[in-house]
Structure 1
Amino acid sequence: MANPYQVPPPPPPPRRSNNTATILVIVFVVIAAIYGASRVLLADDTKNDNKPSSSASTPGSPSTKTSDPGNPESSSDTSSSWKVGDCGGPDPANKPDGYRPQKCSASGATFKAIDIKEASILPGAIQCPAGTDLMIEVSISYNGGKSGGIPTNTVCGRNLSGDHPGDAGAGGGQLVKGDCVTDQAQEVPCAGSPKGTYKVLGLVKTKSECPSGTTEPMQLTMAVGRPYDVICAEG
């Protein structure tokens, strides 16, 4: 006879089914996917921060005069794309020496690009054609910065007005044949120039290359990148 007070043993715990394991795996995969996506988005944001902007950097002292007659004043622009025939003018957002492209008919246009040269980090290495009134250094800055940047091109500009300091003898721009210089090789206007000034007959590498009529060949100090080392002058 069975003992009426005997308590039957508890049933064994149910076995975990394969469905439960599958659910756990799916949850883990979803979490891993979300984490991976967040990392990709973060990486993309970082890449975007490092993309170059179209703004150009302004040299620290672009208007500083130099004793090198082959290295005139230069400024920077606010665009990385220029071609011959484009016009430009001062950029109010990048004062005091910034320029930006403008339509030639615009009231703010002050010059036209007569040549585009590749950029150079060597002062005086870029020679614009005769008649260039100003040289504009084009560079690309990163992270939207307004300073610094990588030089890309140099715009050789000629004023739209009647003022052309880059013309031969006018006393400005780069030194060219027909300009006038002092005995210290400083360019001055030929008109009304004081006694002791000389007219430039040529710009060459050695004195032996000076043309006939040269009475004052001026040997310049060495400058890396400059295409000439001697000013052939006539007194």
Structure 2
Amino acid sequence: MGQTLLRLAAEQADVSVVAAVDRKSPAQRVIEGVPFFAASELSGVPPFDVAIDFSLPEGLSPIISLCVARKAALVSGTTGISEQQHQQLSEAATGIAVVWASNYSLGVAVLTDLVERAAQVLQGWDCDVVESHHTQKKDAPSGTALTLGEAAQSAGGQVSYASLRAGDIVGEHTVQFTTLGERIELIHRASNRDIFARGALHAASRISQRGPGLYRVRDLID
């Protein structure tokens, strides 16, 4: 994901990458004009407006602390984080702008909004979230499936989940509302992982103009 972000950021005139951080010591300090740092050197990175984080759970807390200390915004797509780390994000959002999402696809952001609206209207209908991913994905249901389910539940829906692991499927999510005699399906299919990096860059460009708060990707689409 980091390599994809660097590649796509280089194509955007309004984005300037001041540093890249990896958990390991970099074999090369500067690559195509971008200085690289190890995670242990995080405090030494140059000044920045927004940090984009797609690390592991153990890497999240240090970048939150750095962003708070520097009054910089944070866009994070790190999943599998603890309840304590969710609370840390919420606390950080009292002083800086924060976006956390399990999926940065703009299409999924719209789908989440549609699911919530459908669940509000279709009270009493069965709601099933079905997700498919490649065989190497370990968590099930996916973080995106859980986010979609939470959107339905927030509007009164009763949600069930089903997961499929097959081949090299990038990601497919179907939210199905069913009652006697009819069914509605809301579907998102990802065919390229670039969409997640593009969405994170979109969120970063929008969040830099916002005040402190905890934002969703769908809050930053308009």
TM-score, normalising length: structure 2: 0.22
Structure with max Cα Rg: 1
Which structure has the highest helix share of the two? 2
